[in-house]
Every structure is written in C-alpha cells, then in structure tokens.
Amino acid sequence: MESEYIEQLYRNDSRKVFATLIRLLGDFDLAEEATHDAFAAAMRQWPEQGVPDNPVSWLVSTGRFKAVDMMRRRARFHDLQQDLARRLAEIESANLAIAGQDIVDDRLRLIFTCCHPAIDPKVRVPLTLREVCGLTTDEIARAFLMTSATMAQRIVRGKAKIRDAGIPYIVPSLNDLPSRLDPVLSVIYLIFNEGYSASSGDRLTRVELTSEAIRLARLLVELLPDPEVMGLLALMLLHESRRDARLTKDGDIVLLDEQNRDLWNHDLIAEGKGLVEHSLRSGRFGVYTIQAAISAVHAEARVATETDWAQIVALYDILLLADPSPVVELNRAVAVAMRDDVKSGLTIIDAILQRGDLRDYYLAHSARGEFLRRLGKPREARKAFEHALSLAQQQPEQRFLRKRIESLQS
C-alpha cells in the first residue's frame, strides 16, 4: 500500500521536492540526484516505519541530507577542494526547519529563475518545462518541433547559465515583477496545455499539471493582480471546467459540441467569467484575456446550438491582430465554418496549408477532414484524417481519428 502511495506522491509532488532542493543546494544535477535518493529511501523506510505526517517535508529533508553526504564523499575524494568545501559549509549552515509555505512557493521561485532576463529567451520555456514540470526532453522537443539533441543542448546551456551567473532562486520584487511577467505567463500556460492535452502517451490529460498551473497562476494574481495575469487564470479555469466531459469512461475523446454540459464545473466557469469581466473592464488586457473571453462565450451556451459564433469570430479577429499566428487562424476557421458555412472554413484552412504553415500540425488536417466529411467528400476526408493520424502522438487522439476513418470506409 505504501509503495502505491509513494508512486502517486512521486507523480504529483516530485517536482515540488526537486524545486525546493534546488533552492537549498544551488545545483540542478545534485538536486535531481537527491530527489531520486529521497524517494528511494521512502520506498525502503515507509513500509516499515509508516508514512510521516508531512511526506513532502520528509522527502526534502532526506534529499538534503543525502546531498550533504554525497558532497562530503566527493570533498574527501577530491581532498576537500575549496569550492566543494565552501558549498558544503553553506548547505550545512542552512536552517533545517523547512516551512510548508517555502515548499509551496519554490516552484514559482524556480520558474522566475528559469525565465531570468540573463537566460536566452529560446532557452527559458524549455528549461522551465524540463526542470519545473519534469517533462522529458523528447516531449519538449516535440512541442517545439525540433530534435531531442538540439533541445537537450538548450536545456544544458540554460542550467549552466544559472550556475555560472549566480542567478538567485527568488521571486522578483514588486517593482521588477511586471517586466518579468511575460515569459512566466507563457511557461505557466504551456504547463497547463501539456496537462490539458498531453503531447504524447496513453492519457489525454494530466491533472497534476493543470492543477499546478492553476495554483501558480493564483499565486501570481496574489502577488500582482494584473489584468493579464487574471486573464490567464480565467482561461485555464474555463478550460479546466470542461475536463470531466472531454472523455468517455473508456478514455475516448468527446468533441465540444457533443459534451454533456451538466458535467461542466460551473463554479470554475463562474470564477473564470468574473476574472474575464474584471480584466476586460480594465482596458489593459492582452491575448490571454481575449482567449478567455472566447472560452466564456462557449461556457454561456446551455447547449451547443446556442453558441454565439458571431461573437466568437469577432473575438478571433481581435486576437489575430494582437497575436497573428497560424494556430489562431485555424481556430478562427472553425468558428467561421460554424457561423457561415463549412466551405468558408475549409477555404481558410486550405490557404494556411498551401502557404506551408501547420503542415505537421495534426489538428489542421483533422479539421480539414471533418469539413470534407460534412461536405460529402468521403475519399478526400479519409485522406486528410489518415494524414492527421500519421502526425498524432496521443493515443486517445489516434483512436478518435481511426474511428473517423473507419466510419468513412463503411
């Protein structure tokens, strides 16, 4: 029983332990090794001694002592090299009492560290996804459409910069916070997206990541009640409100217009809509608030047929001006198809693909296949779905596409 609990604790809280150990040890690699050692110790001791009252604090404390032991051995082996001896003394002089709030906030500190202005902007987000969220290098490389080797080099470069430049593990002061927000908001949203629609594997969702992203956004709202921070929190709450309706009991995808809206979390919807309204009234909102406003329009419809697609298209028009991107264009194409007709949406998607954008984005080909299916062109639709299937990394997505293909074959 304890082993199952430890495995669950590792899935949910290992990055929390890791973040705190980085703050205490000042070394990514040493903290990673200490985290694994701490969980290994728990697997040995807890079945006999029982689970401690505060498991996370126990793991942090154990990991810290394991690291101290490792450094002692290395220091002796290297004849007490000055650098190791100095760092050992610093760690041993640290306060042993780890406050619960310190542990709670350490991942936020680590995000700001990974997003420090001294770090190459191309490195910040991948580094944070790897070190804060524990995503594998392969998962991050797929999300950024690059090779694992290139991504690994970026992450190593980022860790070296933090070490060599002595970047502190702190949340910036209130004066510096606004100028440091953009990359942090981007990272938090990427964490949420990986949890809301995992880049690969047998699970569409990873609740531990969506919950962590929402928790971090709430901390940021408390630190800085900026309209765009509120907009990001609203966007994530409104998406998360639909989680229970997005999958069948067998783990298969349920499209938005087919979801049972009684399963939506209306408390999250109400909170999200309130944040959107507050942000919009400020007049200082950005792309997260606009996206949240689109989600709020969906949430207001009691049934799919009552969705105000004209308002959604109008919001996408604004979003395209603020954040011109092929993905926004694709989402707008779907809204245009619902407002006007399927052929109009298909024309937009074809134009996106013809200019070379989103060729490796499975959702573009899946949407194209759906439009062709509705237009009564089964052969072309099947070809589009097969192309989408060749690109999809997620097993529920693959099952959905196979079912579409099978329905067209029959």
Task: Work out whether the CA dihedral 11, 16, 20, 25 comes out positive or negative.
Answer: positive
pLDDT at 299: 96
pLDDT of 75 strictly over 80: no
**pLDDT-based confidence at 187, cuts 50/70/90?**
confident
Say how far apart CA 323 and CA 369 lie, in whole Å: 26
* Structural domain includes residue 57: yes
* Structural domain includes residue 44: yes
Task: Work out whether the CA dihedral 144, 146, 152, 157 comes out positive or negative.
Answer: negative
**What is the arithmetic mean of pLDDT over 206-232?**
87
Q: Which of 58, 55, 89 is nearest to 72 (CA)?
A: 89
Q: Percent of the chain at pLDDT above 70? A: 89
Say how far apart CA 228 and CA 400 lie, in whole Å: 35
pLDDT of 162 strictly over 90: no
CATH number of the domain within which 62 lies: 1.10.1740
**pLDDT-based confidence at 165, cuts 50/70/90?**
confident
| 250 DSSP assignment | T
**pLDDT-based confidence at 73, cuts 50/70/90?**
low
The pTM of this model reads 0.73
**What is the arithmetic mean of pLDDT over 306-327?**
95
**pLDDT-based confidence at 90, cuts 50/70/90?**
low
Q: Percent of the chain at pLDDT above 90? A: 43
Burial class from Cβ neighbours inside 10 Å (0-12, 13-18, 19+) for residue 86 reads exposed
Task: Work out whether the CA dihedral 327, 330, 335, 338 comes out positive or negative.
Answer: negative
* Structural domain includes residue 279: no
* Structural domain includes residue 43: yes
* Structural domain includes residue 305: no
pLDDT at 372: 97
Q: Which of 170, 400, 185, 405 is nearest to 292 (CA)?
A: 185
The listed range with the strongest mean pLDDT (108-112, 281-285, 365-369) is: 365-369
**What is the arithmetic mean of pLDDT over 9-17?**
83
Say how far apart CA 110 and CA 170 lie, in whole Å: 7
pLDDT of 387 strictly over 90: yes
* Residue 247: strand pairing partners: 253
Residue with tokens 């299937």: 389
* Structural domain includes residue 391: no
pLDDT at 386: 97
pLDDT of 123 strictly over 70: yes
**What is the arithmetic mean of pLDDT over 50-77?**
80
* Structural domain includes residue 1: yes
The one-letter code for the residue type at 82 is: Q
Residue with tokens 């308002």: 311
**pLDDT-based confidence at 394, cuts 50/70/90?**
confident
Burial class from Cβ neighbours inside 10 Å (0-12, 13-18, 19+) for residue 333 reads buried
* Structural domain includes residue 92: yes
Q: Across the chain, what does the average pLDDT equal?
A: 85
Higher pLDDT, 155 or 74: 155
Query: What is the span of the domain harbouring residue 60?
Result: 1-98
Q: How many domains does the chain have?
A: 1
| 112 DSSP assignment | H
